[in-house]
Structure 1
């Protein structure tokens, strides 16, 4: 099991990348999306990935999560090296060890909230741990909505279902790609609070790509990318500190602080 030492303590690494590169095209059309990136995502820690548009933040998440291939380097989820896996093995790893939350809720409209939550385990032929499932449903406040279909739920409630679905199988790590991007500030704050609580109370590991400094302030750590490279990281972030750092990145923003779908200032 891979470990990492930070601030004098050793913690287990849930996922890591080493010298990770992703290159699109050749010759004049060649684009380096990731340029020898090395990063650890530690167990029971909430990490936000930020950077200007085109910095490589979504590409990094997609490569580490096994959703995209990489050109060189290595990626590990726990003790499993992704580069050595065949397609079927990669599909099984994503199903069994990784949870996903996207900007689009990706719920099946004909299924109830509970059926959507347990769907990945149903497909895998596994029965959920009922005690764990109850704790997840209670945490996201869905106990009285389990028989409702997505069309009967608000956007915030639908994303709660998506959060519960990601947590229900007790994955080793959860990846979120702008998970509050389609929500208003109140609903976004609720979803971020649930992710924060899942780390604190359930020992979950969360990695989230976001452009929003307020959303990033819920994380334990923010990793900043620019031009396909990690250029900085901040622990115990506030929204103001994140915004200030973003402004100083190559291609960074000078816009005022947004609360797009998050709703908590640092």
Structure 2
């Protein structure tokens, strides 16, 4: 488990996670002046209110905040699943915020991996077929050596011929994780990946996500409401009212709870 926390309050701009040497990790994804507004006029809702953020390459970052803070919106804009109202998003040196739908579709297929709360597996396909599905759709060859490495890391070597109905919830989510990783994406975006899992299955999935970063060099950005889940990350960003208001590096459940408690008290006093 990561070591005790070091909390640093940040106004808007937040740098990448520090590397082993203490230097900032190279940036894999970033946003500048990111604004997302739903509606117009007096009823407009500002989900993001000018976010500047960098996500480190080869780092596991968690995003947390109260309901309505903008955490899912931030991830969706970073992943090209939603279009920002203003600002710039760059992933692996590609300007995502300037892409058309065809370009976004290609980006999501080739550069990004996704893990959602619902497993989104095809019920008629085996675990192996579900894992290789993005590569099959993109008509790209499967790197069998890397496939074997991912499958071994996720603990599914003896489950590849099983269909989703023959797998536990934790195993299904690990299939989804392997599917997200097998194409070697620049970033894996995970939206509440343990929301439908029990504590044991959650631990398995979170351990794998952390190991995919530490052992496979993957970059992971995860939205979660769970302090225990967030403690698996290298860094936790906290949003409130569409802005990044704090961060914790080397988090523990207690350090994450302390920041969340502080945000809740500030909101109640406002």
Distance in 1, Cα, partners of 2:260 & 2:49: 19
Q: 2:193 aligns with which of 179, 191, 194?
A: 179
1:28 to partner: Cα distance: 2.2
Work out whether residues 170 and 201 of structure 2, in 8 Å CA contact, stay in contact via their aligned partners in 1: yes
1:146 to partner: Cα distance: 0.3
1:11 to partner: Cα distance: 2.7
Work out whether residues 99 and 166 of structure 1, in 8 Å CA contact, stay in contact via their aligned partners in 2: yes
| Aligned residue runs from structure 1 range 227-242, under 5 A | 227-242=241-256
| Aligned residue runs from structure 1 range 153-232, under 5 A | 153-232=167-246
1:128 to partner: Cα distance: 1.2
Distance in 1, Cα, partners of 2:140 & 2:130: 14
1:252 to partner: Cα distance: 7.5
| Aligned residue runs from structure 1 range 37-48, under 5 A | 37-48=51-62
Instruction: Give 1:104's aligned residue.
Output: 118
Q: Which runs of 5+ in 2 are unaligned?
A: 1-14
Instruction: Give 2:38's aligned residue.
Output: 24
1:36 to partner: Cα distance: 0.3
Instruction: Give 1:263's aligned residue.
Output: none
Distance in 2, Cα, partners of 1:208 & 1:5: 14
Q: Which runs of 5+ in 1 are unaligned?
A: 255-266
1:27 to partner: Cα distance: 1.4
Show structure 1 runs of 4+ deviating over 6 A: 251-254
- 1:252–1:146: structure 2 CA closer, same or farther, 3 Å change rule? farther
Q: 2:49 aligns with which of 30, 35, 49?
A: 35
Distance in 2, Cα, partners of 1:223 & 1:5: 11
What do the CA deviations read for 1:55-111 (whole angstroms, capped 9, x no partner)? 000000000000001000100001110122111111001110000000000000000
- Is 2:137 the counterpart of 1:130? no
Instruction: Give 2:88's aligned residue.
Output: 74
| Aligned residue runs from structure 1 range 108-123, under 5 A | 108-123=122-137
Distance in 2, Cα, partners of 1:243 & 1:128: 42
Q: Which has the higher contact order (CA 8 A, sep 6+)?
A: 2
Distance in 1, Cα, partners of 2:219 & 2:16: 15
Distance in 2, Cα, partners of 1:139 & 1:4: 26
- Partner SS for 1:208: strand
- Partner SS for 1:218: coil
- Partner SS for 1:108: coil
Distance in 2, Cα, partners of 1:199 & 1:240: 23
Name the TM-score, length of structure 2 as normaliser.
0.90
Instruction: Give RMSD over aligned pairs.
Output: 1.7
- 1:18–1:83: structure 2 CA closer, same or farther, 3 Å change rule? same
Instruction: Give 1:264's aligned residue.
Output: none
- Partner SS for 1:202: coil
Distance in 2, Cα, partners of 1:253 & 1:143: 48
Instruction: Give 2:5's aligned residue.
Output: none
Work out whether residues 52 and 253 of structure 1, in 8 Å CA contact, stay in contact via their aligned partners in 2: no
